[in-house]
Amino acid sequence: MTVFMTTAFLALGSNLGDSRGTLDAAVRRLRAEPGLRVLRISSYYKTAPVGGPPGQALYLNAAVAVEAAHSPQALLALCQRIEHQHGRQRSEKDAPRTLDIDVLLYGDEVMDSPELTVPHPRLHERAFVLAPLAEIAGSVTHPVLKTTIDDLLKAVSPHDCEKTPPSRPLTRGGLPELRALVTGSTSGIGKAIADLFEASGATVLRHGSRLADLREAAQVDRLAEDAWAGGLDILVCNAGADTLTGALAKASYNDKLEALLDIDLKSTMRLARTLGGRMKVRGRGVILTIGWDQAETGMEGESPQLFAAVKGAVMTFTRSLAKSLAPEVRVNCIAPGWIRTAWGETASAEWQERVRRETPLGIWGLPEDVANAALWLASPLASFITGQTIRVNGGVV
């Protein structure tokens, strides 16, 4: 079924509590919504309050471009749910708030109803809205005023709109002065893990197919030697064959199976056994593998057959390796569920609805959800955890 997506622009603001953390969480929640794609996010701008009671704290404001299958009314309802989840209380006009999300533009649509007016009726008057919006949509034309956002910004005084530095990733737990190898870390889940490990103090050896082709045993062994030569504390076997969106998407069933066996299973076993054995002799280390949350329960279809067989093998191998390497080395498996990687970004409306229906939390997981679990498992906070499969899947059981 063809789904028509509309580009819309949202304004976010907060001046109560941890405003930066609130805006970060709101953007993350938008990214996780089925049927919605976050396209661009502006910088955060510190701005003076306009109207309302005196003595308010400064606001933090941002603009977000989204591509939505939602109607304008459904998009507004989503924004209001997210506001409510972050403690928004509607009292007097222009009062301080934990979170405010306004629909500014919805394509070229013009509508005026008691519930929603688009374009936002005060969009062209507010520098604290126009400054972040111009950063991501300066050339977009206001459908009523027939003027670009850049020109609207020039017509107002952008006083008290100060761009702030970007957010820093959560680093709780920390991996100070540790060295990690993360395979398949040029995009998706692997990149999110590598980014978070680095932000938490680790030195990360990032791996992509150009560094080592994991289908070739000799290159796997060379990667292990290179990683160990610099000292290695953490191994994350994340690399996987992309049989859904990559070059293998049109390959035969047998060719997909061979690629998954070589990259997802054999290279994981080879790296984990080689490096895990050395970690055990040295007396310390952490190994993480990547499984699939439905490998044990099963799912219909050709691709799930392949993933269940291969990822199920990774999960059972992890449990056995954990017993072999204990007590010196901890070995755990992360089993992601519906995570919004490259395939999830372009999945059909039927799959978007299936994610919502089958996940108790009702949203996509994000690569950083898996990264947060990996950081915890790699850190001393999980020092009594080994041989486990941790499902990062929004509550699917």
At 8, give phi and psi (nearest 5°): -125, 160
In terms of C-beta density within 10 A (0-12 exposed, 13-18 middle, 19 or more buried), how is residue 21 classed? Answer: middle
d(CA 321, CA 122): 61
d(CA 189, CA 224): 21
d(CA 383, CA 23): 32
66, 7 contact by CB (below 8 A): yes
CATH classification number, 6-163, choose in 3.30.750.24, 3.30.70.560, 3.40.190.10, 3.40.50.720? 3.30.70.560
6-163 and 179-392 share one fold: no
d(CA 298, CA 307): 9
Which residue in this structure is represented by tokens 């609207």? 152
Of residues 88, 330, 340, 391, which has the active-site annotation? 88
- Closest-CA residue to 352 (of 77, 66, 69): 69
Of residues 100, 233, 242, 264, which has the active-site annotation? 100
Structure tokens at 214: 């994991």
- Count of all residues that appear for the chain in the document: 397
Those residues whose C-beta lies under 8 Å from the C-beta of residue 138, and which sit 6 or more positions away, are 148, 149, 150, 153
Question: Per CATH, which fold does 179-392 belong to?
Answer: Rossmann fold (3.40.50)
Of residues 20, 31, 37, 97, which has the active-site annotation? 97
SS3 per-residue string spanning 292-348: CCCCCCCCCCHHHHHHHHHHHHHHHHHHHHHHHHCCCEEEEEEEECCECCHHHHHCC
User: In angstroms, how far is CA 4 from the centroid of its own chain?
Assistant: 24
pLDDT, position 167: 65
**Helix pair 72-85, 19-31: axis angle to 10 deg:** 140
29, 362 contact by CB (below 8 A): no
pLDDT, position 88: 78
SS3 29: helix
pLDDT, position 4: 65
User: In angstroms, how far is CA 213 from the centroid of its own chain?
Assistant: 26
Which residues share a beta bridge with 30?
Answer: none
User: In angstroms, how far is CA 218 from the centroid of its own chain?
Assistant: 33
Cis bond before residue 72 (omega within 30° of 0): no
Task: Return per-residue pLDDT of the chain as tens, 397 residues.
Answer: 445 689 999 999 999 888 998 999 999 999 999 999 999 999 999 998 887 777 688 999 999 999 999 899 999 999 999 998 888 777 666 678 899 999 999 999 999 999 999 999 999 999 999 999 999 999 999 999 999 999 999 998 766 688 888 765 544 457 988 999 999 999 999 999 999 999 999 999 999 999 999 999 999 999 999 999 988 999 999 999 989 887 888 999 999 999 999 999 999 999 999 999 999 999 999 999 999 999 989 999 999 999 999 999 999 999 999 999 999 999 999 999 999 998 888 888 999 999 999 999 999 999 999 999 999 999 999 999 999 999 999 998 8
88 in catalytic set: yes
pLDDT, position 254: 96
Which residues share a beta bridge with 334?
Answer: 290, 390
Of residues 24, 102, 242, 369, which has the active-site annotation? 102
- Beta strands, E only, 27-185: 36-41, 45-47, 59-68, 100-106, 111-112, 117-118, 161-163, 179-182
d(CA 291, CA 307): 9
Those residues whose C-beta lies under 8 Å from the C-beta of residue 185, and which sit 6 or more positions away, are 191, 193, 194, 204, 206, 207, 208, 236, 238
pLDDT, position 342: 85
Domain-by-domain residue ranges, the chain?
A: 6-163, 179-392
97 in catalytic set: yes
pLDDT, position 55: 67
Strands 36-41 vs 59-68: parallel, antiparallel or unpaired: antiparallel
Where helices occur in the chain by DSSP H, the ranges are: 19-31, 72-85, 127-137, 149-154, 188-199, 217-229, 253-260, 267-282, 302-325, 342-346, 349-358, 367-378
102 in catalytic set: yes
